[in-house]
Structure 1
Amino acid sequence: MENIHEDKEKTQKVGEPALPNKYLMLAGGIIVLILLWVAIKAIFSPFEQFKLTLVNAPSEVVAGGITTFTWRIDGPPTKIHHTTVYLGTTSSPGDLGKDAKAADTKYTEYVKDFVEGDFDVPLQYIGNITLSNPGKYYYRVHAVIKDKDYWSDEYSLEVQPSSYRLSLVSAPEEATVGKIATFTWRIDGPSTIINHTAVYFGLESNPGDLGEKVKPSDTKYTDYIKEFADGKFDVPLQYIGNVKIASPGAYFFRVYADIDGKNFWTKEGQFEAK
């Protein structure tokens, strides 16, 4: 009887799987589950991921000047046909998904450099726009990639009212009658074309601040440098003008420019002609 019991016990032990095999079966099951999870994720998740990044943009610009944006599109190599920066004075907050069209936002302006064509991804882009009206603008980078709309986060910038500034770079303290006297001046501000800038001078002073309504004919200056008195000239730019002083005396002068129908003057300077 005792031998029969021992044989039965041995038979049961032989039929049971070894302990290491149990661990192998468990590990195999876990691997199968992981592979199944990866397969399901691959099926229900997009294979390609693209990212739009704002690289550089100003926080403040002057109305009428050039505003420059730099952005990147990263992801698998492909061709796109549209990317831009959309702007407007009304915010379009929140997360804009891949089905959010530009027409669905409140943005009213856009950078035109890459709105149509064949462009590479990944690549860094630089685009420009002129914002004419002062105020706070909200903007996002946008791209259409494989018929889906991709958006960056929303940012903002301030557009300040346009202003121009005239500055005297150099002028003689003394001039010789009958000889050339040279003046150098700058005009800074938003890009534009002007038709008249000069140095006005005379033997009588015109003290104080000359505002935008004061024309040269309203002053006591009797002569001016004529190189840039009539034509088309760029702003911003540095100018160099020459004049022969006909008579001796203490002369008063100012740099002047007519910009968009407004009169701009520097402070009054003085030189002696002998």
Structure 2
Amino acid sequence: MKIKNKYAFVFFLTLSFVVIILTGAFFYKKNPQLFSLNKNNQISPSQVLTSPTLPIPTPTVFEFKINLVSLPDQITAGEVAAFTWMILGPKRTTKTTTVYYGDQATPGNLTKEILPLNTKYDQYLKEFISGEYTIPLTFVGNHVIDKPGTYYARAYASIDKDNYWSDEHIFTVKSAKHEIKIISYSEKVKLNQNSTFNWQISGPPTTISYTSIVGSKESKSGSLEETVDLTKTPYKELVKEFISGSYQIPLTFVGNAILPEYGTFYIRALAVINSKNIWSEEYKISVE
């Protein structure tokens, strides 16, 4: 019985040793790179597993950005031009922001070192040029531009001693035209009865010395050019209050006249502005 137990023990010991050898051979065949011989012919792992090195996080840099959101494509000289711009970025306080513009371009990318005086822009909006404004924020500013031409504009802000500029935009200011029109009058009047006329001159500011309501029983229909003066028409002066003097326009005028004959009269408002004859449309009035 002791002999059998001895043989059984030897058998299991031998079997265990064989299993270990076969298992090692199996893993070596599958992954030979896991083992290598060092200088002393000792088996050692060829690679040592270490914890991965995490990159040091880069701090987030907050940049400010300014956009010129809207501006007029085209306006008439003497009109109000409206501009809208927006400053984006982290919360800060700026003491100056505006829209700079001029009739000369300053192309390219304007860096933080470029001051307004380093550009060719010679005009700016006044509303936010000085103060304290918490950004991010949207701004709206206005300016009357009297001189016709092509203009170049950028929004601007000074933040933390740096200069921020939007892209350059273009807008056009066209020459203003003076216009004259009769606002109100009586379409039917009595002979030798006083009639009141109300007319308006619009356009860029200037001074004139002559305007009147003129009329005739003969029509001269159609549009009258600026070169056509009163002598080239059948019309005669009816309202004479403003045929000499000094009048600052734009302005609305009120004058009176007595029509001397029965029948239909054709009337217009007339003003001489900068040596040009500005005519209203032709209207009709009946004298009964």
Q: Same fold (TM over 0.5)?
A: yes
Query: How many percent of aligned residue pairs carry the same amino acid?
Result: 26
Contact 2:226–2:276 (8 Å) recurs in 1: no
CA drift at 1:148: 0.7
Q: Distance in 1 between matches of 2:167 and 2:116?
A: 14
CA drift at 1:140: 0.8
Q: Which residue of structure 1 aligns with residue 110 of structure 2?
A: 96
Check 1:113–1:204 CA distance in 2 against 1; reply closer, same or farther (3 A cut): same
Contact 1:225–1:241 (8 Å) recurs in 2: no
- Point out where structure 1 has 5 or more consecutive residues left out of the alignment: 10-15
Q: Distance in 2 between matches of 1:273 and 1:100?
A: 71
Correspondences of 1:28-67 after superposition (within 5 Å): 29=53, 32-33=54-55, 36=56, 38=57, 40-42=58-60, 46=61, 48-67=62-81
**CA shift digits 1:170-213 (9 cap, x unpaired):** 544322235564545444434x3656785513446584725268
Residue type at the aligned position of 2:260: S
Aligned pair partner of 1:177 in 191, 200, 213 = 191
Higher Cα radius of gyration: 2
Q: Which residue of structure 1 aligns with residue 278 of structure 2?
A: 264
The 3-state SS of whatever aligns with 1:136 is strand
The 3-state SS of whatever aligns with 2:265 is strand
TM-score (norm 2): 0.67
Q: Which residue of structure 2 aligns with residue 25 of structure 1?
A: 51
Q: Which residue of structure 2 aligns with residue 13 of structure 1?
A: none
Contact 1:65–1:189 (8 Å) recurs in 2: no
Q: Which residue of structure 1 aligns with residue 82 of structure 2?
A: 68
Q: Distance in 1 between matches of 2:87 and 2:249?
A: 35
Contact 2:211–2:272 (8 Å) recurs in 1: no
Residue type at the aligned position of 1:224: V
Contact 2:214–2:238 (8 Å) recurs in 1: yes
Q: Distance in 2 between matches of 1:271 and 1:177?
A: 12
What is the RMSD of the two structures over their aligned residues, measured on CA atoms?
3.9
Contact 1:163–1:189 (8 Å) recurs in 2: yes
Q: Distance in 1 between matches of 2:145 and 2:213?
A: 33
Q: Distance in 1 between matches of 2:259 and 2:179?
A: 30
Correspondences of 1:1-274 after superposition (within 5 Å): 25-26=51-52, 29=53, 32-33=54-55, 36=56, 38=57, 40-42=58-60, 46=61, 48-177=62-191, 179=193, 181-190=195-204, 192=205, 199-203=212-216, 207=220, 209=224, 211=226, 214=229, 221-224=236-239, 226=241, 235=250, 239=252, 241=254, 243=256, 245=258, 247-249=260-262, 250-257=264-271, 259=273, 263-274=277-288
Number of residue pairs aligned between Structure 1 and Structure 2: 245
TM-score (norm 1): 0.70
The 3-state SS of whatever aligns with 1:58 is coil
